[in-house]
Amino acid sequence: MEQPRPAALTARRAGLVACTRCTRVQAPAARCERCNAPLASRAALGLQRVWAWMMAGIILYIPANTLPMLRTSTLGSAEESTIVGGIIDLVLYGSYFVAIVVFVASVLIPVLKFVAIGYLALSLKHRVPISAHQRLQLYEVVEFIGRWSMIDVFVVAILSALVQLGFVASVNPGPAAACFALSVVFTMLAAQSFDPRLIWDAIEEDQ
């Protein structure tokens, strides 16, 4: 995996900055000369934003799990289910595959994301057994996969719009839907605030 790499000349060592939006490499300035995006050699405030967004995401993830996600009423009897309750119902119906999809999207990905972002942020200051390349791959996975947590919110939206048969059956959204959606948004912002170039800076200091 770790093959010897030629020492790369980085933009930072050449006294230049690469725009993360349009890829142009240029002399340091406040904004990109081509696309006018804010330009910074490394994310300002370092990891503070990452931690702040992540804390907000973790705090909202708690009511997202304890409050009801769906309110179902069939023939006069009402029932409320949480995220985990909904997954258990799917297992009881025998829809194992969909149960796994919802479990991965609503439980596994958010929890692993909190752990992964925290780990990446701590790895910049402390020695960790994972190489810089693998940490970059971890970051890319986290950034790619985070938005898929939104599946459950969309399921609630579709069910609530469709199942409106008055007394026979109706489905309405619960407060957990909003908490969960915001938790996903905040963790996406946490991942976006993390500047992966900081990972490479650490190995350059080692060399």
Partner 1 sequence: MARCQRCHTPLIFPRGQAVARVVALSLTILILMIAAVFFPFLTLEAGGFRNSATLIDAATAFDEGWLIPLSGLVAAFILILPAIRTGALLYALMPLLAARPPARYAAMAMRIANRIRPWAMAEIFVVGMVVALVKIVELASVTPGPAFWAFCGLVAITVLKDTYMCRWSIWNSLAPPR
- Which residues form the interface with partner 1 (CB under 8 A)? 5-6, 8, 21-24, 34-37, 90, 93, 95, 98, 101-102, 105, 133, 136, 143, 147-148, 150-166, 168-169, 172-173, 175, 177-178, 181, 185, 188, 192, 200
Cα separation, 149 vs 104, whole angstroms = 8
**Nearest to residue 15, comparing CAs of 1, 26, 3?**
26
Shortest reach from residue 156's CB to partner 1, in Å:
7
- How much is the CA Rg of the chain, to the nearest whole Å? 22
Cα separation, 15 vs 62, whole angstroms = 45
Decide whether 90 or 116 has the Cβ nearer to partner 1. Answer: 90
Q: Which H, E and C letters describe 57-122, residue by residue?
A: HHHHHHHHHHCCCEEEEECCEEEEECHHHHHHHHHHHCCHHHHHHHHHHHHHHHHHHHHHHHHHHH
Decide whether 119 or 200 has the Cβ nearer to partner 1. Answer: 200
Decide whether 112 or 150 has the Cβ nearer to partner 1. Answer: 150
Decide whether 128 or 159 has the Cβ nearer to partner 1. Answer: 159
Shortest reach from residue 160's CB to partner 1, in Å:
4
Shortest reach from residue 158's CB to partner 1, in Å:
4
Cα separation, 72 vs 173, whole angstroms = 9
Shortest reach from residue 58's CB to partner 1, in Å:
20
Question: At residue 108, what is the residue type?
Answer: L
Decide whether 111 or 157 has the Cβ nearer to partner 1. Answer: 157
Shortest reach from residue 162's CB to partner 1, in Å:
5
Shortest reach from residue 37's CB to partner 1, in Å:
5
Decide whether 47 or 156 has the Cβ nearer to partner 1. Answer: 156
Cβ neighbors of 125 (< 8 A, separation 6 or more) are none
